[in-house]
Structure 1
Amino acid sequence: MNVTRAHNVVDAGLPGGRVLLFAHGFGCDQNMWRYVAPHFESSHRVVLFDHVGAGGAQAPYDAERYASLEGYADDVVRICTELDLHDVVFVGHSVSAMIGVLAHLRAPEVFAALVLVGPSPRYINDDGYTGGFDRADIDDMLAALSSNYLGWSSAIAPAIMGTPDSPELGAELTQSFCRADPDIAERFARATFLSDNRADLPLVSVPTLVMQSRDDMIAPMAVGQYVAAAIPGSSLAVLDSSGHCPNLSAPDEVIRAMETFFAEGR
């Protein structure tokens, strides 16, 4: 199966322009970038895709391959290789931020910069590290997800979106979660929330923008600050937004932060 069909790749924008490769987070698909990606089509080649099990992706799911984020990173490298993408700016939301870091470490010659929106290298608190959750919290969440995925989605998605004044966004994220295959979603959740990529951050060797919402229950401020401090030479942009999905709730701020990053020659 070719990569376009396998990952529902959409290739738009300026032919020959610098490549922006957008990657969505857990429970989502490429539609979550619809307020951001089109803005750059007049100046960049814009490529979007769906992770295995999401959106219109038709790639077969292999439980062993996708037991960790490395399998998803390999998919990103495959997309870049088969589409002959170079000088890529990888724009990753949530768990895809770390997937982008891993893809860069696998194929450093492909990536020119990283834009990490709401990144977290580890969701579980550790000695000297605030990830936002105790291990018991994560275990309880995974158990709830496993026993009643639709109920869990309906309860957690609006809280993740974090926009009580715009309930339609929470409803959209709920619907997105509910469209996912529950078995794949559970395995992806385990790969996401039990990951620890802190040791990978100092190895990043390209300009990096870290975007952090001022109020984010999934990746709190301390996590964004940690990521920015750990990646050499990175920039931290604190968005005046709440929730974990500023690409939907505050797209203008996301666009401005990216434009500032690019204007600085990144």
Structure 2
Amino acid sequence: MASRPAARVQDSLMAPRTRYARTGDLAIAYQVVGDGPDDLVIAPGFISHLDWSWQEPSLRRFLERLAGFSRLILFDKRGTGLSDPVPGPASLEERVEDLAAVMDAAGSDRAAVFGVSEGGAMAMLFAAQHPERTRALVLYGAYPRVTRSADFPCGVEEPVMTAMLSGLVDRWGEGAGLGAWGPTRRGDTALRAWWGTLQRLGASPGMARRMFELYPHIDLRDVLPAIRVPTLVMHRRGDRMIPFGIGQYLAEHIPGARLVELQGEDHLFFLGDTETLLAETEEFLTGARPATSLGTTVLATVLFVDLVGSTELAARVGDAAWASIRDQFLALARDELARYGGHEVDVAGDGLFATFEGPARAIRCAVAVRGAAATAGLAIRAGVHAGEVERADGGGVSGLAVHIGARVMAEAVPGEVLVSGTVKDLVVGSGLGFRDRGVRSLRGVPGSWPLFAVAG
């Protein structure tokens, strides 16, 4: 077996070096990231592109977190991404051979395998055939079979799946399908542009169609009892692509498997509440809950700012002009964040998420961003809420207060800075004025919430 390659400067988290493993006459592209004590191989979903993956901030952060406690091995399946093209989609047996070849080239005798969506089938078959090389198995959004049958009622109706995938191929490369794969970010124009490019770089339309045609024929149910390695199954309750019942089926039929129910509806693993997913993965593989997942609970004010009409604007002016407008908006917003002591947490397409130590600063910052945007001919809406959040070591925050802040912003009309009743009560005596906007139900948040618009 090949010796482990020496660490190189190029193998940084931001720009890992792409290498090639040989399997027969084919070259399979792979990357090694991080220097943790144990190896972790990701078996990718239906398409991937090693270099392009690092250009999406949410995915980059996810991979960096995995590489923080492991030696992370990534690869593109044959016929996809940077690996050699092939006439048609590979069989599961061939994909297992590719996974083994990548491990050999990376000098990995034994590794945990993380199967994502379609890659779960490859990961499960590898674990069943090569238990001596599989330290553990992690499955996210995976399935042994995807279509419904009399003895598999949790599956997807085949005509529904066929129609959806056919429509995706007809618009291949345009960013279609994001509403199904990542519904919480369907309006994120930057993510949609990245998603469209991933489609074009990941596979040709013809290859994608042939891959989709194989989906109804995948059935690994008889393999599940033969998986005898520690297994963690994670599945989102509202997954739009692969029903939660399929995750339950996996956990019930893989001996000793543990099921973790994740909240949310995104199928893309790097969207939504990734903190729980990452924390469960790290604890399962290392035996210790990461400090980043435990975080520090603090009272903070969250601010969400969103450009109004960004989708229509992008469609009207084109991608290049829209990118320039977005950059201008972010520059204006960041100037005000610096002025009012805000901490930028994330940028999602046409919006910005930040935290503040005090609600009055957050409100004044939102008003200032609104004014600065107006001078540039742009309109925003903003939402402010205060509550307990979990601060992670990497600077991220999570918790119900974050979700409430996002939902408060969603209730705002163009040009409005909307705050929760909690925030209004906290800034009594600040000189800020408010107009009552009534009591609202916030999507996905229990209870009713009084909301107020900042006056002036």
- 1:175 aligns with 197
Q: 1:197 to 1:214 in 2, by over 3 A?
A: same
Aligned letter for 2:117? S
Contact 1:11–1:47 (CA under 8 A) maintained in structure 2: yes
**Which whole-Å CA distance do the structure 1 matches of 2:271 and 2:27 have between them?**
25
- 1:36 aligns with 62
- 2:425 aligns with none
- 2:21 aligns with 3
Cα deviations by residue, 1:141-179 (Å, 9 ceiling, x for unpaired): 454456x2528x644233221214762444433332233
What's the offset of the Cα at 1:263? 4.5
Aligned letter for 1:3? A
- 1:99 aligns with 122
- 2:95 aligns with 72
SS at match of 2:146: coil
Q: 1:13 to 1:138 in 2, by over 3 A?
A: same
Q: 1:171 to 1:241 in 2, by over 3 A?
A: farther
- Aligned ranges for residues 83-94 of structure 1 at < 5 Å? 83-94=106-117
Q: 1:252 to 1:29 in 2, by over 3 A?
A: farther
Task: List alignment gaps of at least 5 residues for structure 2.
Answer: 1-18, 289-456
Cα deviations by residue, 1:37-63 (Å, 9 ceiling, x for unpaired): 222434321111111233222x24143
Contact 1:163–1:169 (CA under 8 A) maintained in structure 2: no
Cα deviations by residue, 1:206-225 (Å, 9 ceiling, x for unpaired): 00111101211211111110
**Which whole-Å CA distance do the structure 2 matches of 1:129 and 1:215 have between them?**
19
Larger deviation, residues 219-228 vs 129-138: 129-138
Contact 1:120–1:131 (CA under 8 A) maintained in structure 2: no
| Higher percent of residues as helix | 1
**Which whole-Å CA distance do the structure 2 matches of 1:212 and 1:40 have between them?**
18
Q: 1:161 to 1:130 in 2, by over 3 A?
A: farther
**Which whole-Å CA distance do the structure 1 matches of 2:82 and 2:65 have between them?**
23
Cα deviations by residue, 1:57-86 (Å, 9 ceiling, x for unpaired): 2x24143x71x3222122112212333312
**Which whole-Å CA distance do the structure 1 matches of 2:47 and 2:99 have between them?**
18
What's the offset of the Cα at 1:2? 4.7
The structure 2 residue matched to 1:61, chosen from 61, 69, 86, is 86
The structure 1 residue matched to 2:78, chosen from 40, 52, 75, is 52
SS at match of 2:261: strand
What's the offset of the Cα at 1:120? 1.1
**Which whole-Å CA distance do the structure 2 matches of 1:248 and 1:142 have between them?**
21
Aligned letter for 1:96? G
Q: 1:220 to 1:28 in 2, by over 3 A?
A: same
Higher-Rg structure is: 2
- 1:117 aligns with 140
- 1:191 aligns with 214
Q: 1:77 to 1:62 in 2, by over 3 A?
A: farther
**Which whole-Å CA distance do the structure 1 matches of 2:116 and 2:33 have between them?**
19
**Which whole-Å CA distance do the structure 2 matches of 1:29 and 1:3 have between them?**
16
Q: CA-atom RMSD, angstroms?
A: 2.6
- 1:213 aligns with 236
Contact 1:158–1:174 (CA under 8 A) maintained in structure 2: no
Count of residues paired in the alignment: 259
**Which whole-Å CA distance do the structure 2 matches of 1:238 and 1:55 have between them?**
31
SS at match of 2:198: helix
**Which whole-Å CA distance do the structure 1 matches of 2:272 and 2:266 have between them?**
8
Contact 2:178–2:186 (CA under 8 A) maintained in structure 1: no
Contact 1:122–1:197 (CA under 8 A) maintained in structure 2: yes
| Higher percent of residues as strand | 2
The structure 1 residue matched to 2:225, chosen from 191, 198, 202, is 202
Contact 1:116–1:211 (CA under 8 A) maintained in structure 2: yes
- 1:163 aligns with 184
**Which whole-Å CA distance do the structure 1 matches of 2:20 and 2:194 have between them?**
30
TM-score, normalised by the number of residues in structure 2: 0.52
The structure 2 residue matched to 1:23, chosen from 26, 40, 43, is 43
Contact 2:158–2:216 (CA under 8 A) maintained in structure 1: no
**Which whole-Å CA distance do the structure 2 matches of 1:166 and 1:210 have between them?**
29
What's the offset of the Cα at 1:238? 1.3
Identity of aligned residues (%): 27
Contact 1:13–1:46 (CA under 8 A) maintained in structure 2: yes
TM-score, normalised by the number of residues in structure 1: 0.85
Contact 2:149–2:155 (CA under 8 A) maintained in structure 1: no
Q: 1:13 to 1:128 in 2, by over 3 A?
A: same
**Which whole-Å CA distance do the structure 1 matches of 2:186 and 2:179 have between them?**
11
Aligned letter for 1:159? A
Q: 1:246 to 1:143 in 2, by over 3 A?
A: closer
- 1:253 aligns with 276
